[in-house]
Amino acid sequence: MTFDQEIFDLIQEEYNRQHMGLELIASENFTSEQVMRAMGNIMTNKYAEGYPGKRYYGGCEVVDKSEQLAIDRAKHIFNVAFANVQPHSGAQANAALMLAILKPGDKILGLDLSMGGHLTHGSPVNFSGKLYESHFYSVKKEDGLVDYDMMEAQAHEHKPKLIICGASAYSRDWDYPRIRAIADAVGAFVLCDMSHPAGLIAKGHLRSPFEYCHFVTSTTHKTLRGPRGGIILMKHDFENTLGILDPKGNLKMMSDLINLAVFPGTQGGPLEHVIAAKAVAFHEIMQDEFMIYTTQILANAKAMERAFQAKNYDIVSGGTDNHLLLIDLRNKNVTGKKAENALVKADITLNKNMVPYDDKSPFVTSGIRVGVPALTTRGLKENHMEQIVDWIDTIITDVDNEQKALSVKSEINEFMRGFELYKNWQV
């Protein structure tokens, strides 16, 4: 077989990009070498439809053990009774969860995408808005915080079967007891999609959703710093209230409905190599170093908040409780699109983002989203955040100046050379 030089050259090129630039996309991170090692190996060869001990293929005795380890570690980290580690992504986790508890046409209530929500929380262009009747709550115009009164009013008006909390671009913590009270009053389930802050929740820096939310989904590659993938968790398993019976005439447990909704409901063979890598990431999360890491994420986000405020940037909700900041650029007379495009020329990677009540389209936007988990993994500390904001500000205040972007880029490349990405990298 001839070696595929073309693709491995591209992988090296991508390595150089990741190594030399400032990675500020709030949903990205740099997973460890051992996570990648677990992900890129012979477990990719194995078919294992089903679950540990109950598979549709022979030869699953080894992957049974590694999948069970991933399950046990996830349960331990979040102190929950149930974990399904097979979803290929956060979107797959949400699709399976909804398939488990909803019928087509059922109503759901989530945070509007344009207010910081996620596609899978009911957007009309997504399965969640096509299969289910979706309704939305917002953040308040005056302070950028979730409008729980609106959530309550929408819940009473539409009587959804499912209320979804969690977001992609929201920098504050959530009031889970209030959400559960709203749900209980209308007989709804609560799903928390904690994909973004999951690592911070794992280490107790943010409120825990588990006691109040019937179901919790997450990706594994954001603040959890694992391989790309998803998980579904439940603090308590319980008999389903949907009237679904098992062959003996008993109500099926929720865990059974969720497992069936992942496989065979929405997926076929699990990615056992990725599940092994999830187990490795969970092992890392259980170590003290992960507490140091997540504490540093919060310190870096706060340092960045102060630095942006000092330069008169308009941070939605006035600041951050977590790993990200959403910045409204309208007072700087620059669109999100223009800022993103100019910053990338200086090797600063972040994404344009709608801000609440935006007057521009999702392709243009008035804002940018800035996150610190990836740079925190690289070893950057509070004292570096001011320099980063200086670079961002230099570009944004002279957004058409390509010469300036190139000079910032060379400063950044020189700076990032000092922060190792992978010690044993080889393509």
> Which residues are near ligand DSN by CB under 6 A?
27, 118, 168
CB of 297 to ligand DSN, least distance (A): 16
345 and 401 Cβ atoms separated by less than 8 Å: no
Three-state SS for 50? strand
Residue number, nearest CB to ligand DSN: 27
Quick one: angle between helices 402-416 and 336-345, nearest 10? 60
Smallest gap from Cβ 251 to ligand DSN, in A, equals 34
Nearer to ligand DSN, 71 or 165 (CB): 165
Q: Which helix (H) or strand (E) holds 134?
A: strand 133-137
Kind plus residue range of the DSSP H or E element containing 51 = strand 50-51
DSSP state of 146: B
Contact of 108 with 248, CB cutoff 8 Å: no
Judged by CB, which is closer to ligand DSN: 118, or 180?
118
> In angstroms, what is the minimal distance from the CB of 373 to ligand DSN?
11
Which positions ≥6 away from 344 have C-beta within 8 Å?
A: none
Task: Provide the minimum distance between the beta carbon of 27 and ligand DSN in the complex, in angstroms, as a whole number.
Answer: 3
**Cβ-contact 5, 11 below 8 angstroms:** no
Contacts of 252 (CB under 8 A, 6+ apart): 239, 240, 244, 245, 246
Beta-bridge partner residues of 4: none
Nearer to ligand DSN (CB atom), residue 50 or residue 230: 230
Q: Report how far residue 244's alpha carbon sits from residue 255's, in angstroms, rounded to the nearest whole number.
A: 12
Distance CA 158, CA 180 (A): 16
Decide whether 168 or 320 has the Cβ nearer to ligand DSN.
168
Q: Which is nearer to ligand DSN, 91 or 254 (CB)?
A: 91
What amino acid positions are annotated as catalytic residues? 47, 49, 193, 219, 222, 228
* Strand partners for 137: 111
Q: Which is nearer to ligand DSN, 126 or 255 (CB)?
A: 126
What are the angstrom distances between the C-alpha of 15 and each of 19, 311, 379? 6, 32, 17
